[in-house]
Amino acid sequence: MAQFGRLITAMVTPFDREGKVDYPQARSLAQALVESGSDGLVVTGTTGESPTLTREEKLRLYTEAKEAVGTRATILAGTASYGTAESIELSREAERLGVDGLLLVTPYYNKPPQDALYKHFVAIAESVSIPCVLYNVPSRTSLNMAPETTIKLSHVDNIVGVKEASGNLEQIAQIIEEAEEGFLLWSGNDSDTLPILAVGGYGVVSVASHLVGRQIARMMVAFLEGEMGEAARIHRRLLPLVKALFLVANPIPVKYALNSVGFPVGDPRPPLSAPDEKTAAAITATLRHYTIDLPLRAKA
């Protein structure tokens, strides 16, 4: 099993003014995220606007990100979609390009039953030799992967963990309790990270770590070292920022925030757009209260 680390950033995809992928800025962002505390990066996940990226863009992003971080961090490629065959094809290509693992979101839109969901993930996992992390995010896919399905999948050799964004602590605790030994669970919501650690979770796949990665890492270290008061203090302090980053659909706020602090990543691709004036003002006001951990290497 690859060690992906406790703090994984779900990296945005930078675009230029024409809406094309800005590959040099993607490399710079990957490096900056590692320098500010990330152990690993998810490339072309939901935060990376994967539904708007072409196959060719995704594959090049995997190559660029892996070359940028080398062995300093791991790259998880978001290769799954609603089609099993398409997911297998992209997963195999990502493995060929040298990514460290795959992040496999539950199929959206078509809502397969749980037994079909199990077969879908097994088929993808068996098509590659690298580790796979499941991703359960019912608020986006309209489908919750039942804990029993996740637990059953934990016995597949190269399915090594799950990013849980259900917000259901009872479900999360059941997975941690009953899954195969060594199967890891990462929080999929920044606001849930500390509660999930408290029930035995491993870490977080974060959006807020674009801005405050070292502070999130410090919170987890404090928890693991028994400094519960310090961990809780950091968690509470970060909550207003987390709230601001989800005022509207992710990644609209985090891209606006990165642009605002001096790390250009462009606007989201349609059908997403830049935030409206009221939302933008709220994000800007919130950012004033935080130290930004990201090294700012703005483009000339």
Residue positions annotated with a catalytic role: 135, 163
> Could you give the CA distance from residue 131 to residue 135 in angstroms, rounded to a whole number?
13
Q: What is the 8-class DSSP label of residue 130?
A: S
- DSSP one-letter code for 75: E
Q: How far is CA 99 from CA 79, 157, 213, in A?
A: 11, 18, 22
- Which DSSP category does 187 fall into? E
Question: How many other β-carbons are positioned within 10 Å of the β-carbon of residue 149?
Answer: 20
Q: List the beta bridge partners of residue 104.
A: 134
Residue with tokens 């691709």: 269
CA 79 to CA 101: how far, in whole Å?
A: 10
Q: Which of 158, 167, 98 is nearest to 137 (CA)?
A: 167
Position 166, amino acid = S
Tokens of 139: 């608020």
Quote the tokens at residue 79. 């290769």
